[in-house]
Amino acid sequence: METMSPVKETVLIVDDQVENLIILGELLEPHYRVRIADGGARALRAVNIDPQPDLILLDVMMPDINGYDVLARLKADPATKDIPVIFVTSKDSIEDEEHGLESGASDYILKPVKPMLVLARVHTQLENRRAKVLLKNQNHYLELEIERRMHHNEVIQSVSLAALSLLAETRDRDTGNHIYRTQFYVALLAKALQSHADYREQLDDEQLSRIVKAAPLHDIGKVGIPDHILCKPGILTKDEFAIMQTHTVIGANAIAKAIQGVNQADTSIYHRDMTPMTFLEVARQMVLWHHERWDGTGYPDKLSGTNIPLPARIMALADVYDALISNRVYKKAFPILNVEEIIISERGKHFDPVIVDAFIELRNEFEKIARKLSDPIAMR
């Protein structure tokens, strides 16, 4: 079977003296695809003609545009800045050579040229270029592969989170689309708070994404609440309510154990990338403290004000809003206007005042989400 010969690399020779073009051309022609330009201006046009040169042999002293200026223009253009250039010149002082190399030339050859020296220097520069191109392609491939794997991991993470969240919801059949609605509410509030001076630094895009992704987990601890309490069709007794309150601690402890497991894992990925740890901590905060109140009367730790982590403060409003607009076994859904009045009345009591202010601006968007994702006979 006949094999195809490799494509020759292209060398552009630039010199205003025809005899020099002939000497270098005849020397290189057996080994490379040779193109010539008899001046700086033509050289600058030639580098943009396919195939682009893999190497340029460039005279320094030319009448139209000298070699230094040609090189400067090549280096200033992203399309040509990586093409190696060898100065070929009769300027033989140490200062001239140093100036040429400092200008960005890859090598410096003196005239009259020595054929074996030219071939060796050209070969070396083209080998270096091949190595750089190979490395660049490999790096590009690795970047694409890392991006692909990160996307794959994000999909797996999202599916896993949805499964965990739905696990809690399947035990509490009364909550319907609660996890989806609250996630949208949280996204609206967090995005609005990004523009607030007091919250901007706490809510960069990555942190906002973590908060939104963690939102469906806020009631994950309900998997540990007995059915006769979780599904009771009526008002809970004091003792039953105390047990119900433990869902925050049950969920947070489960996530804390997951964090501990990540810390103990003998794998380099978590040493390079702390994103999983940061996400789990955001989820833990939201799960544990989303029933705390701004005035310090919530549970489980009676935190107050900004001592309550921001993810939990955001979820607190989203969770209460959704509970009020929804039917529960122990109550009927409140009308939307009443719910808005209740939320606003709790500014500085149950809820962070700034978050309530954001809600006031977004209440029409809240209502749209509530109606779009409503449960059967859930709203009035």
Tens-digit pLDDT profile for residues 95-114: 888 888 999 999 999 999 99
Mean pLDDT score, 172-195: 85
Q: Which of 303, 330, 329 is nearest to 316 (CA)?
A: 303
**Hey, CA dihedral for 203, 208, 212, 213, is it positive or negative?**
negative
* Cα angle value 85/90/93 (rounded, 5°): 95
Q: Which residues on neighbouring strands pair with residue 37, listed in sequence order?
A: 14
pTM, full prediction: 0.60
State the pLDDT at residue 263: 64
60 falls in which pLDDT band (50, 70, 90)?
A: very high
State the pLDDT at residue 117: 93
Q: Which of 239, 229, 232 is nearest to 331 (CA)?
A: 232
State the pLDDT at residue 135: 85
Q: What is the dihedral of CA 114, 120, 121, 124, to 10 degrees?
A: 180
State the pLDDT at residue 151: 66
125 falls in which pLDDT band (50, 70, 90)?
A: very high
CB 182 within 8 A of CB 322: yes
The identity of residue 171, as a single letter, is: R
Mean pLDDT score, 201-226: 91
Chain position carrying tokens 């109606």: 371
State the pLDDT at residue 179: 87
User: Domain spans of the chain?
Assistant: 10-137, 172-372
The identity of residue 129, as a single letter, is: R
pLDDT exceeds cutoff 70 at 378: no
Burial class (CB in 10 A: 0-12, 13-18, 19+), 152: exposed
CATH topology assigned to domain 10-137: Rossmann fold (3.40.50)
CATH topology assigned to domain 172-372: Hypothetical protein af1432 (1.10.3210)
175 or 282, which is more confident:
282
- Token pair of 295 as six digits: 């005035």
State the pLDDT at residue 375: 72
Burial class (CB in 10 A: 0-12, 13-18, 19+), 80: middle
State the pLDDT at residue 270: 42
The identity of residue 93, as a single letter, is: S
Helix (H, G, I), strand (E, B) or coil at 57: strand
| pLDDT tens figures, 223-250 | 888 888 888 888 899 999 999 999 999 9
Burial class (CB in 10 A: 0-12, 13-18, 19+), 230: buried
